[in-house]
Amino acid sequence: MNSATVVNEKVSLKTLSELMNLRGRVGVVTGGAGHLGQAYCEALVELGADVCVLDVRADVAEQKAEELARRYGTHCSAIAADVTHEDEVARAINEIVAVHGRLDILVNNAAYPRNDLPPDGSALTQQSLAQWKATLDVVLTGAFMMTRACVPHLANGGQGVVVNVSSVYGLVGPDMRLYEGTDMQNPANYAAAKGGIVQLTRYLATTLAPKIRVNCIAPGGIWRGQAESFHQRYCSRTPLGRMGTEEDLKGVLAFLASDLSAYVTGQVMLVDGGWTAW
């Protein structure tokens, strides 16, 4: 047989259903009781995973975990923890492993600090150091501490996955014309934190490979009843002509958290209706 000879061999490929099946795996979603967090939790349990809803709000997290367990028949738990506190992060991860026996998927979704600081103004000169530190603590430092605490468990399972949540504003500058005439703001702390998440993703993807895959979701604007003037401007600037919804993010998490993306790491998946294509 020479190099030009073609050998016909039947290749056995897993089905898409098999690749996306998360039965037997355990995931934790930080900020799991929030709008996006709930969508991410649902995506995981719909594929068969057991999930821990981690949030600073114990009552809402427990309610969501009970709802998920009732609807999908999976083992769901709730843990109240503040990702900005190292001791709470360590306790939370220990509790998750004690309750579920393992940990395979981490979704770093926590995004906003507690509402115990006065709001900043929209101009850079009106933005406070307190808000800057609070936002970076939750988004960036929180993701760092959660990942660091989860690494031993993610590596042990052999299918460890980290999915970080950034934003289009972690990749491009804000178009402040969208906000004219509204009370909405787009502070520097948000862009800096979300941009840091993008680079943290790349760092983790290269240093934790091959045992753990690390990718990032960067959503565009999500419709939540914003001012109509903003809404119209945003839609006109978006190729798909609308803002995103929580549902738009479920599919990309299902892809990144499962074996559908087994050869994907270090990537930023934009879910923005084409916003950054222009």
Residue positions annotated with a catalytic role: 190
Nearest to 31 by CA among 116, 129, 135: 135
Parallel/antiparallel/unpaired status of strands 76-80 and 26-30: unpaired
CA distances from 182 to 177, 187, 226, 231, 253 (A): 10, 14, 9, 11, 32
Parallel/antiparallel/unpaired status of strands 160-165 and 50-55: unpaired
Are the beta carbons of 100 and 94 closer than 8 angstroms?
A: no
Q: Which two tokens stand for residue 68?
A: 């998920």
Positive or negative: CA dihedral 253, 64, 189, 124: positive
Q: Which two tokens stand for residue 191?
A: 């862009």
Spell out where 81-237 has E strands: 105-108, 160-165, 212-219
